[in-house]
Amino acid sequence: MSAAFILYACGGGGDKPAEVKKDSPATAEAPKPSPAANSEKILTLIAEKNCAPTCHTIEKKVIGPAYIDVSKKYEATPANIEMLANKVIKGGSGVWGEVPMTPNNITLDEAKEIVTYILNLKNTQ
């Protein structure tokens, strides 16, 4: 899948966006991942969208970055979730290397769910 990504995803995004820093005004708390039932749902969605294990895994770089590395790079803010979800949908390159992430057939809501899950991984490890 950039964030995308996945996400965040197979290669990052086209234009290198400015990361939202902790002291930025757009750092309101993003929703935390729900318990295991929601995690299972998100992991199923990730698999259905061919994000993992094709391009990503949680702890190991494949074509794109490991999800845990994405969670360490970006704070789980609404602005970052929106930006990364759009990168998951549109694809791109340049943030995580030269291999581009292809666009993904995913809704904005699905992408936001996945990105929120990924960005909160650092809180579970």
pLDDT value at 7 more than 50: no
Residue 70 buriedness (CB in 10 A; 0-12 / 13-18 / 19+):
buried
Superfamily per CATH, domain 36-123: Cytochrome c-like domain (1.10.760.10)
pLDDT at 38: 82
Domain residue limits, the chain:
36-123
List, for residues 36-72, the tens digit of each pLDDT value. Answer: 558 899 999 999 988 889 899 999 999 999 999 999 9
Phi and psi of 98, rounded to 5°?
-85, -20
Mean of per-residue pLDDT scores for the chain: 78
